[in-house]
């Protein structure tokens, strides 16, 4: 964070997670397309409904893994089919919840910081007025 030459000119701004897509893929047409596709797929896969569907899909392969009778096959089924398929959407759902909470905190912080910024600007105006009064008193006394 670099210091501002004129902190009184600072205007607080609010940046939410949805506004940073251009930083990842760029602002060109392909970048916007890539971001839109990625967001759309993430919204589809990042649901508990998708986790339930993936659980059912993984469970279809369970009887074949049990039939093999090998612990290695069962571990492979658990790690490859079940954990990867089911945990992926659940983790995305969790990240979406966390992101929404962070955005809500950012909005609340932004409102607070904007109010503090306005109060600070008012205080500076009051102090400048007091300085003018003091200067006038010095002139009259001197």
- pLDDT tens digits, 103-141: 888 888 888 888 888 898 899 999 999 999 999 999 999
pLDDT of residue 136: 94
pLDDT of residue 1: 47
pLDDT of residue 18: 64
- pLDDT tens digits, 15-62: 766 666 666 767 778 887 887 888 888 888 888 999 999 999 989 989
Q: How far is CA 101 from CA 16, 37, 96, 108, in A?
A: 11, 24, 9, 11
d(CA 105, CA 15): 11
Residue with tokens 């006038």: 136
pLDDT of residue 130: 95
d(CA 87, CA 67): 24
d(CA 126, CA 131): 9
Residue with tokens 């939410």: 16
- pLDDT tens digits, 59-99: 998 998 899 989 999 898 888 888 888 888 899 888 888 88
Helix axes 29-45, 84-141, angle to 10 degrees: 120
First to last CA, the chain: 45
pLDDT of residue 140: 93
Residue with tokens 């609340």: 108
């Amino acid at each position: 964070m670099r210091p501002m030459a004129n902190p009184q000119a600072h205007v607080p701004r609010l940046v939410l997670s949805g506004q940073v897509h251009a930083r990842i893929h760029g602002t060109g047409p392909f970048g916007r397309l890539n971001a839109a596709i990625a967001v759309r797929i993430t919204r589809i896969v990042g649901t508990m409904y998708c986790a339930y569907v993936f659980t059912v899909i993984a469970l279809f392969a369970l009887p074949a893994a049990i039939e093999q009778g090998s612990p290695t096959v069962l571990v492979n089924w658990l790690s490859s089919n079940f954990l990867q398929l089911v945990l992926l959407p659940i983790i995305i759902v969790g990240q979406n919840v966390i992101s929404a909470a962070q955005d809500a905190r950012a909005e609340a912080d932004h409102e607070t910081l904007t109010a503090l910024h306005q109060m600070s600007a008012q205080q500076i105006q009051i102090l400048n007025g007091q300085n003018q009064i003091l200067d006038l008193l010095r002139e009259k006394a001197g």
